[in-house]
Amino acid sequence: MGKRKGFTFIEVALFLAVTAALFIGIALGMQNSIFRQRYNDAVQNFFEFTRSIYSKVSNPQSPGEGNSKTAIYGKLIVFGEKHNLAGDIIDPELDGYPIFMYDVIGDASGSQEISSGTVSELLAALNANVIKKNYRTNGTIESAEPASPEKYEMRWQTELQDIGGAPFVGSILVVRHPRSGTINTLILEDTIIPVNYEVKQANEAYEAGGTYSSIDNLLKQYLTRTTDPKFKVAEVNFCVSPYGPGETGTTPRQEIRLLENARNASSVEMIETDGGDNLCF
């Protein structure tokens, strides 16, 4: 009867190497699948957020002051704001680049008196703003606050970029025409309207017993500009990067496109990454 032979060292080593390679391949595949699913979820979430803006503008909620005094004309969306809602400086490495949205409020009764003009001109005539003041019983100003602020953050550490790959910066107005009610979309390219910063500055001034008039026409000064940068009708190309600030990779960016002169949610389109029309590819 012959001797029973066991596995040699080389055979065991080969078995372990193949098993390890298979395990690593499966693990990497699962990791890539999870990464891709999270990225797709982030893209879809931002897509739905952008579309939801038009629903909110079409169906505004009461500002809580009575329709006789104030009306909501739409939303201001600010990309790249350097300060959070408390007025503190944002660290993009920790917090990314949040998106802030505010109600555009103005004189409710004045809309019955205006006749013609561009949306920007009419809103300026109605003293449209995104900041409101709180008064004490003696009529003095107690504090200021953004009008119904909302904060949106990109999911799963993705980053919103422009076509060139820089963090997306700008301000967008989605507003109803004061007379016709038609929704208009106006773009202020590469310009941040610093709502949170101005509110903090105003409240510090009020606490010290002073005044701060800059917030009275914060939005109006941009609405009345006749030279660039000014609000204009234009297409917007949002590029959703799978990678956060300072990170790089090979996964293509997804484009979310806001069509020129957008008027409703159908004006927000998701452009396929493998299509020739994707400007973020």
Question: Tokens 């629903």 — which residue?
Answer: 55
| Predicted local distance difference test score (pLDDT) of residue 113 | 63
Q: How far apart (Å, rounded) are the C-alpha atoms in residues 267 and 49?
A: 13
| Predicted local distance difference test score (pLDDT) of residue 31 | 62
Structural domain of residue 227, as residue ranges?
Answer: 9-271
Phi, psi (rounded to 5 degrees) for 8: -80, 165
Cα dist from 168 to 99, 172, 182, whole Å? 10, 12, 27
The mean pLDDT of the chain is 87
What's the gap between Cα 20 and its chain centre? 44
In a domain, 280, yes or no: no
| Predicted local distance difference test score (pLDDT) of residue 24 | 63
Handedness of CA 188, 100, 41, 246 (dihedral sign): positive
pTM of the model: 0.87
The sheet with strand 268-271 has its strands ordered as: 159-161, 236-241, 254-258, 268-271
In a domain, 277, yes or no: no
In a domain, 2, yes or no: no
- 22 CB-near residues (< 8 Å, 6+ apart): none
- Whether omega before 149 lies within 30 degrees of 0, making that bond cis, reads no
Phi, psi (rounded to 5 degrees) for 243: -115, 140
Q: How far apart (Å, rounded) are the C-alpha atoms in residues 62 and 80?
A: 28
| Predicted local distance difference test score (pLDDT) of residue 34 | 84
pLDDT tens for the chain, 281 residues long, are: 555 566 676 766 676 676 666 666 655 555 678 888 999 999 999 999 999 999 999 987 665 554 457 899 999 999 999 999 999 999 877 767 899 999 999 987 765 566 678 899 999 999 999 999 999 998 889 999 999 999 999 999 899 999 999 999 999 999 999 888 899 999 999 999 999 999 999 999 999 999 999 999 999 999 999 999 999 999 999 999 998 877 888 888 999 999 999 999 999 999 977 767 889 98
| Predicted local distance difference test score (pLDDT) of residue 241 | 94
In a domain, 88, yes or no: yes
Token couple for 17: 């190497």
DSSP state of 30: H
Q: How far apart (Å, rounded) are the C-alpha atoms in residues 204 and 269?
A: 42
Total structural domains within the chain: 1
List b or e across 89-99, with b for residues whose CB sees 16 or more CB atoms inside 10 angstroms.
ebebeeebbbb
| Predicted local distance difference test score (pLDDT) of residue 70 | 84
DSSP state of 122: H
In a domain, 276, yes or no: no
In a domain, 1, yes or no: no
Token couple for 248: 């790089």
